[in-house]
Structure formats: structure tokens, C-alpha cells
Structure 1
Amino acid sequence: MSAGASGRTLAQVRPSARQLAWQEMEFYGFIHFGMNTMTDREWGEGHDDPALFDPADLDADQWVRALKSAGMTGVILTCKHHDGFCLWPSDATDYSVASSPWRGGRGDIVAEVADAARRHGLKFGVYLSPWDRTEASYGSGTGYDDFYIAQLTELLTRYGPVFSVWLDGANGEGPNGKRQVYDWERYYAVVRELQPDAVINVCGPDVRWCGNEAGDTRPDEWSVVPRSLQDAERTASRSQQADDGTFARLVRSDERDLGSRAALAGHESDLVWYPAEVNTSIRPGWFHHTAEDTEVRPVDELFTIYRRAVGGNSCFLLNVPPARDGRLHDADVAALTALGQRIEDFRSRRIEATAAVTSGTPGDVATAWPGRARTPWRPEAADARPALTLEFTGTRTVEAVVLGEDITQGQRIEHVVVRGRHNGEWTTLAEANAVGHQRILVFPPTEADTIVFEVTQARDTPVLARAAAIGAAS
């Protein structure tokens, strides 16, 4: 297995500390809540009377408990959507909860969600739409940028540590009929100064949008991609352009390969670590609509999306919208609880095994999942076909395997074959190209007493941080 000079160049692209911390989170929640919730809209037009905003029973702890029950590690709140209504008392505008009857005009939903997240051990993130359909300075250039920076600064200085600043690409006209050219670099600089540990998602340099809002994942997701994919305007041009439900289920067939060696040919001198986030909503819409209370995604579908996302070198962001009264609907809560149970059941079926390797030492790779090894396995550079074997105490029925690289050393594996042995005969169970942080491969339940992972192609000597076999459900 010869990596070649180009392969070693690709393997030298590494994640930042903030990207590593984000990748380990794997699964976190989106909360879309605001004036749209009160008006039964997806995209509010702005200028709705603040008197309409009065959730009678808002309970941020209920939101966070429900997300945590699903196994989530963080929550991102839509602090301001495109309509411009702010869920905190912003000094930059009167169009906020401070002008509403909720909590007598003295409430702060951002504070309540941030505090609830801390109480329940979840990280907190913010969504601040660059598009504002109420603010008169939108479309004025620097004047609106000043306004946006003022609001961004409030969110990043008043509510404690923030793990994510989620920047939407929506860019429509303001009340004056003008379109704003966002000063993305200025926005990024403020985040770096005020919350240096936060990743900037989607229209940002740290975390890449997977390209759809349907929860779909690519067959192979690569974290090392051309720098041109960080162009925020490019992402914005591909984001939702109209207030309808079609976009939320749209999956494009283009750009299925962003980072194979063939796709990167000619870009070797201008590459970045830019991992993917898979996002979708638990319902057809992003905001709560009573008419969709019977359309909450079933747990089987949610678990499949989860498994493909966190098992496809991505993180999974699942939106769960509270209702007009300020509470999550029972159907959403039940689905989240069931999803958490499915995830725990899947993890609990890891088969105990003894590890052996073709060269080097296996470290604690075979016992690290969920998690990553303190001592990863690195075969010798001269090992032409490095392989890791998991041997069981007897014959077991296996239906999935988990494999993960130590991405502090880059993304190196380009092809891996998984085989199982039963009665002395070997059968190919699965194979994949990209691995990255974590790859979960599922196959029909198969009896085996041994599983072997053989790396047949890599960009440099592979370094593995996790390997596991998952038994079939009883």
C-alpha cells in the first residue's frame, strides 16, 4: 500500500482544536422558535405586532430534557430568524421580547435556554439570521453590518460559552427593497475574538453544510476538501430561496464526491479541513405547526438518519420546534425518548472481543467505542495491508461494525474491507472508502467468530481510534 507524495500531502491537512471538540459532540439539537411560531409561518415577513408573542407556558428545561433524552450533547437556538424578531432584549432594536407581553416585557429566552442547557449538561449555540426583514438598515452595506455585529456581540458576551455560531445563507430583500452584501469576514472576526472555541457553521469556515435539509448523507464524506467550498456566498446561493416545504426534502444529485483523491487532483496546494454537518427537522417544517402534529418522523427513520450521519463522518443536527404555548408537543417528546433508547440499545450491543493487528500494537482501539482510544493503533509504515482483527469468545450474530480514525492525524483511509469468519470460511461483509471520525457499516445479520478490518488503500499510514462489532438485536 503506497500512499505516494500526493497522498501524504492530503494527510497533512488537520482539524483545529475547535473542530475536534465539535466532531466529538456527534449529535445536537436545533430549536426553531419565535414570532413565526405565533403566526404559523415558516418565513415571517417582519413587522408583526410584538403583542402576538406571548407563550403562556414556556419551559426551556422541558426542551433541553427532551433533547438530552435523545442522546444529544448540545442545543442551538434561533435567537433571531429572518423576520427580525429577537428572543432576547437587544439594545440594537425594539423588535424583541422586550416589546412583548411575555414575562411582562422582562423576559429573555436566550438566557433561559442557555441556563437550562448548562443545568442539564448540554452545550449552547446560537443562530442569528443575517437576513432581517424588519431592520430598516438592511441593504445599506456597512450600516447594517454594524447593526448585525452589535447583535452578534450581545449574544456572544451575555450568555456564557457558545459552542456554535450557526450562520444561515438566506439573503432576501429588506423593507427598502435592497439586498445586503454580508461582510462575512467581519462577522467571523467577531466570533473568533469573543468566542474563540466556537465553530462557525454553514456560511462559515469551520463546519460545512452537507448540501440538503433532508438528513441525507453522501456515500463517502471527506473532511479534506478544496478551500473554495468555504466561500459563504456560494453556500448562500444554494440555500433556501422561498417559504415553502419543498426545499426541506430536496436532495441534489450533484457534488456527491467532494474529497476523493480524484476530486482533489489539482487542488493539493489549497485544501482545508472542512467537515460536514447533516441537518433536518423532526417535522416537515422548521417551526411548529399544529397541522403537522401527526407528521413527526417515526423513530425508525430518525435512527436511520442518525446512524448514517454520525456513522458517515458527519455530525447530526436535528430540529425540534416548540409549540405556541412554549412547550414541545408530546409527539416530539415521545419520538426523542424513543430515539435515545434506540441509540443506547445499539451501543449496548457492542461485542466484547480480543484485538490483534498485523503490525504495531492495537492499544485500546477495541474497547474505546463509544469514544476514541487513548492509545490509537498505528501499523508500521512498511505494512502493505494493515489489518485489525476482532476475535470473539464464540460465534455471534453481527449486523454492523464501527471504525474510526484518529483525525488529529488527518483523514487517511481511502478504502477498507470488512470480513467475517464462520466455520473457518471468510465472507466480505462490507467495504467503504472514506472513514474519518467514524464510519458505521450495516449489513444483513451474519454469524461470525472473528471480524477483520483490512485497509487496502490510504493516503498515509492509517491511525485508528475505534473499532467495534455490533451484535444483532434480539
Structure 2
Amino acid sequence: MEFYGFVHFGMNTMTDREWGEGHDDPAAFDPAGLDADQWVAALKSAGMTGVILTCKHHDGFCLWPSDVTTYSVASSPWRGGRGDVVAEVADAARRHGLRFGVYLSPWDRTEASYGSGTAYNDFYVAQLTELLTRYGPVFSVWLDGANGEGPNGKVQTYDWERYYAVVRALQPDAVISVCGPDVRWCGNEAGDTRPDEWSVVPRALQDAERTADRSQKADDAGFARLVRSDDRDLGSRAALAGYEDDLVWYPAEVNTSIRPGWFHHAAEDAEVRSVDELFTIYLRAVGGNSCFLLNVPPARDGRLRDTDVAVLGQLGRRIEDFRARRIEAATVTVSSGSPGDVASAWPGPAPGRTPWRPDDTDPLPAVTLAFAAGTRPVAAVVLGEDITQGQRIEQVVVRGRRDGRWTTLAEANAVGYQRILTFAPVEADAVLVEVSQARDTPVVARVAAIGAAIGAAS
């Protein structure tokens, strides 16, 4: 899915908070202009494929009429107490062709049973069941580990295995993200990516993600821009030493917000990230073997601000322009085996297309794209492995040819689902991609050369 949206909306939007304390008067929730179609259309304009809604944040206020609490939209004046934000967003997503996902905070600052153990787990499972049975297919269940109770606060032991079992039973196609076994948090909320991102990691990392030890513990805006220096290497041979017999497939997701905060604050209306910054994060995330989850928060009236909508549209056009600059007229040759569809399987997934697998004895597997029109300005190369076979490439070198001479343009130590390697535009009549190290015979799904933007220096 590559790129999808987060929508933080709820009581915090009304009270101008990031972490509500709970127990706010439900009468405060009355977004008269709520327009889920506007939200989803704006996300789609950016090129997103899905939307995840904060159905309940840490304050405990539910955006759907839950049967197990009165602290919900049913107690508010919005839609006369008969509204359901979750239903409206899920329906809008379907209308616009986006997948729908749910965020349900395990931490609940309103529910009296929080900290009691089994009673709260029963409560949480009941709410999870409501979200997974009332709103159609769910592609992601996003489990946040944040908890700011402090050393003297309530301690609740989450029954993660029970939560996972409920998801598997009710929405078997959903991935369980962050505090779950399927999709891994990248380690920060700044949109930062590791130089080389691996999907194959020690199983012990899954256990670590189930605790709140490394999650946010305070309502601190600085956390959203913190880039952690630890665990910068999770999947190299050195990082896997001692774990070789206990590995898991645990791909990363990069999450950040279009604004400094996760919820809308009028004081931040002039601090919306630029299209240049967002496109850079996109290239590094979607082009760095990660998914990109971008938060876009609606305002108190229930609508996205014009600035956010405009930037999203600009981002979508920038992404489309990047894809349109693919140099299609090229002759592909490979060092061994059949090239299959390696030169035509981008952009997007390539179901039914044949990847390129070199001979097992090939000492230096390589793909060459020779441009039919001769020399062209090239600014990026897109690579991708067939991840149904795992992640195998450990080093790849990209070279460009001009006047018969080859020059190194970029190098990387991991590829995975997709790697976008950008460089200063160069004139070349061919691009060569060499796999100089791999853990097994590499299986390459895509190789594409991207031309320079109009006006870019070469």
C-alpha cells in the first residue's frame, strides 16, 4: 500500500489538547461541518491508498456509539446524539476507493476499569469487537503503546495475545501495527528513516514492541520530532548475530504529522509542512523499504484546513510527476537468466508479473537498461525485490554510462520491497544495477530509471 493517511480527530480537537485527561463534557463535541468525504478526497489527492482513524484516543472518548461506555458521540449533541464518525469515515473511504483502518488506544483515561486487569481487557476487547464487526473490511489495527500515567499512576497489563486473536478471528486480512506482530514502528515520529531498512529482524524485537517502555510517556510536542540514535541497525548480519535461528518478517512503517501536533490546533495553521519536505520523506520512506503513514488532522468544525488540502494536492502531483518521468523506452539485458518483467513492473505492485532471478552461479548479478533515445538526464533509480521470496540483497551499486565510461551513481546495503536511490542529475545512455552482495540468490521485481525534472541541472 506504500502510502496512507492517519486522521487524529476527537475530543482533543475540541479542547485544543494533544493528550486529553478524560472526563471532558461530551457536549463539547459538536463538529457541525464534519465532512468525511472532504477528508478522504484530500488524502486520495496525495496518492494515499488508505486511511486510519483514531476511533478512541487516550482520553477515552469514542467516535462511535459504543455499547460499553457512555463516553462517546452518543452522549454529544452532534447529529442529535445519533452520529457515528467511524461509520462516516469508513463509508467515505469506500466511496473514494481507499482502505479503512482503526486506531484504538489501549490507554484509557476515562474508563473506571483501567488498571484492574481482566475487567479492563474485557472492556477493550468489547470495543475492539465493535470496531471490527460494524464497519466492513479493516486493513490495519493500529495499537499505540503510549501511557503517561507516571510512576504513581494506574498500571494495566494489556492482554496483547487476546487482542491479536480477536483481530485474527474477526479481520484476518488486517495487519496489526506497532504494538503488534505485523508492522513495526520505525522508532521515531519525525518521518526519519534508517540508511538501510531491513524487514528481517530478531524475533525479540516483536516482544519489545509490546511494551510501553519505548513509547511516549508525556504530552511533549518535542517527541514528534525526536530522532533516536539507538537501534539504527536492526537487520544487518552484525545485528542478527546470535539470532540467526529466530528471525521474523517485521517490516517498518514511518509515521509523522503534516503539522507539529497530531490533533489540529489553530495556532499551528501556519506550520503545515511544505510539499518539498513531505516529498523528501515520501522518497525516503516509500523508497526505503517502509510504508509512509502521514497524519492530517481536521479542525474543530470537522473540516481540513485549506492549507493542508492544498499541500496534499501538491504532494500527489509531485508523486505523479516523479512516476511519469520513468524512462520507458529502454532495452533490458541481464547477466544471466531471463529478465522477465523486471523493467516494466513499476510503479506500484506487480501481481502476475515475472521477476528476474539470475542463475545461482552468477558471480555478479546485474541488470542493464539501455535507453533507446540515447543520452538522457537521469536523477533516480527505483529497485525492488520480490518480497514473497524474502529480503536478500545486501549491497547494490548503480552506475551510469556516458561516452562508453561507467560512473557510480549510488550505492545501498538493503533494498527490500522498494528502494529509491536519488542523485544529482547525470547524462547517461544506460544504467547498470549490480547486486554485489546477497544472502541468497536475489529475486528482483523491478528496476526503473527516472529522468530529471524539467529545469533540473545536469
TM-score (norm: length of structure 1): 0.94
Runs of 5+ unmatched residues, structure 2: none
State the identity %: 85
Per-residue CA deviation, residues 353-395 of structure 1 (Å, 9 max, x unaligned), is: 1110010011111011103440100000010001000000110
The structure with higher relative contact order (CA 8 Å, sep 6+) is 1
Corresponding residue of 1:79: 55
Over 3 Å off, 4+ runs: 232-235
Corresponding residue of 1:278: 254
Counterpart AA for 1:26: E
Q: Is the 8 A contact 1:422 1:449 kept in 2?
A: yes
Pair 1:320-2:299 in alignment = no
Corresponding residue of 1:391: 370
What is the CA distance between 1:173 and its match in structure 2? 3.2
Q: Is the 8 A contact 1:31 1:75 kept in 2?
A: yes
Distance 2:263 2:182 in 1: 26
Corresponding residue of 2:265: 289
Corresponding residue of 1:358: 335
Tell me which of 26, 33, 36 is aligned to 1:60. Answer: 36
Corresponding residue of 1:247: 223
Distance 1:144 1:447 in 2: 63
Counterpart AA for 1:49: D
- Residue pairs, 1:302-321, within 5 angstroms: 302-321=278-297
Distance 1:384 1:61 in 2: 54
Distance 1:454 1:446 in 2: 18
Corresponding residue of 1:412: 392
- Alignment partner of 1:307: what SS? helix
What is the CA distance between 1:234 and its match in structure 2? 5.5
Moved more, 309-318 or 165-174: 165-174
Pair 1:181-2:157 in alignment = yes
- Alignment partner of 2:212: what SS? helix
Corresponding residue of 2:172: 196
Counterpart AA for 2:361: A
What is the CA distance between 1:171 and its match in structure 2? 2.5
TM-score (norm: length of structure 2): 0.97
Tell me which of 312, 322, 327 is aligned to 1:336. Answer: 312
Residues 235 and 415 of structure 1: CA distance in aligned 2, closer, same or farther (over 3 Å): farther
Number of equivalenced pairs: 449
Distance 1:154 1:336 in 2: 32
- Alignment partner of 2:55: what SS? strand
Distance 1:107 1:293 in 2: 28
What is the CA distance between 1:239 and its match in structure 2? 1.0
Q: CA RMSD in A?
A: 1.0
Tell me which of 241, 244, 257 is aligned to 2:233. Answer: 257
- Alignment partner of 1:231: what SS? helix
Pair 1:301-2:280 in alignment = no
Corresponding residue of 1:402: 382
Runs of 5+ unmatched residues, structure 1: 1-24
Distance 1:177 1:472 in 2: 55
Distance 1:234 1:113 in 2: 28
Per-residue CA deviation, residues 203-228 of structure 1 (Å, 9 max, x unaligned), is: 00000000000000000000000001
Distance 1:460 1:173 in 2: 47
Moved more, 94-103 or 358-367: 358-367
Corresponding residue of 1:371: 348
What is the CA distance between 1:262 and its match in structure 2? 1.4
Q: Is the 8 A contact 2:178 2:209 kept in 1?
A: no
- Alignment partner of 1:239: what SS? coil
Q: Is the 8 A contact 1:401 1:470 kept in 2?
A: yes
Q: Is the 8 A contact 1:365 1:377 kept in 2?
A: yes
Counterpart AA for 1:360: G
Q: Is the 8 A contact 2:394 2:437 kept in 1?
A: yes
